[in-house]
Amino acid sequence: MTTTTAPLPPAPSVTTPEPLVSVRGLRVAYGDGPLVLDGVDLDLFAGETVALLGSSGSGKSTLMRSLTGFAPITGGSARVAGHDVGALRRGQLRGLRAQVGQVFQQFNLVGRLSVLTNVLTGALHGAGPINAVGGFTSADRQRALALLDRVGIAHKATDQARTLSGGQQQRVAIARALMQRPRLILADEPVASLDPSMSHQVLELLQEIARTDGIPVLVSLHVLHLALEHSDRVVGLRHGEVLVSAPTAELDADRLAAVYDVPPTDEQEADDVAR
């Protein structure tokens, strides 16, 4: 019997998910200074929470800034939602930034404004000054209230933001970020000013949002055990280079200690959490 080669049936379509963020060989230097990021690779996929670890000065904030065009890219590339960030013009960058929710260590709320108004300002991203003056629609208000409910502080909607605890303020900041309908959330040391129990709650909330809404969350932390407990993947930076990049389940504190110049002692970790 002769065998003939028949054409193969079409392969079942295995759709490889595209990363929302794809950073390749990224180099960043401020002015004439040294490289603060030196050949960084990073992918962020829908639904995952990636913890960015590293000592102070290792380049965590710079890497986040490079995703929204706030860091001087001197080599390699950063692609976010299909855009080559380094090639975007000012107006295009504004459009990109409107799609990126940001959460900061110091919450960055307007303290004298109500919690609800703070959340509503998330809707102004990408809106021109006329919209900003024109006020908010009732649909905006309803959505802001629903988001406050989701983060567990709807009962504080009319309170001045500055009267809330740190953990509550960070929830407001997260609701504000969600108000943007973000495609990506960047959280730069979001729990560095919170006590341990608040830290866990806020990180749990971020991970829940990533999973439920399919939004990638990149969260920088300098406390190792928080990264191990509240992320799907860890990327460890040291002196601007990626030293570790692995699923969290495959990592432990010993392996991650390598990203620190001086491995943190348990006591320092406790201090860090308490700060």
* Residue ranges binding Mg ion (CB under 5 A): 60-61
Interface pick for ligand ADP out of 7, 33, 129, 135 (rule CB under 6 A): 33
Q: What is the CA radius of gyration of the chain?
A: 21
Contact criterion met (CB below 8 Å) for 229 and 196: no
The residue behind tokens 């000012």 is: 90
Instruction: Please say which residue, 61 or 102, places its beta carbon nearer to Mg ion.
Output: 61
Restricted to residues 169-188, the positions that interact with ligand ADP (CB under 6 A) are none
Shortest CB 118 distance to Mg ion, Å: 23
- Which residue lies nearer to ligand ADP by CB, 118 or 220? 220
Residue number, 55 or 201, with CB nearest to Mg ion = 55
User: Which of 57, 126, 134, 214 touches ligand ADP by CB under 6 A?
Assistant: 57
Which of 26, 47, 49, 54 contacts ligand ADP by CB under 6 A? 54
Q: What angle do helix axes 196-213 and 266-274 make, rounded to 10 degrees? A: 80
Q: How far is the CB of 144 from ligand ADP (least distance, A)?
A: 30
How many residues in the shown chain lie near ligand ADP by CB under 6 A?
Answer: 11
Quick one: which segment of 57-65, 98-106, 152-160, 178-186 binds ligand ADP (CB under 6 A)?
57-65
Indicate which single residue of 21, 23, 44, 58 sits in contact with ligand ADP (rule: CB under 6 A): 58
User: Which of Mg ion, ligand ADP, none does residue 36 bind to, with CB < 5 to 8 Å depending on kind?
Assistant: ligand ADP
* Nearer to ligand ADP among residue 148 and residue 273 (C-beta): 273
Of 182, 155, 6, 37, give the one whose Cα is nearest residue 101: 182
> Which residues would be at the binding site for ligand ADP (CB under 6 A)?
30, 33, 36, 54, 56-62
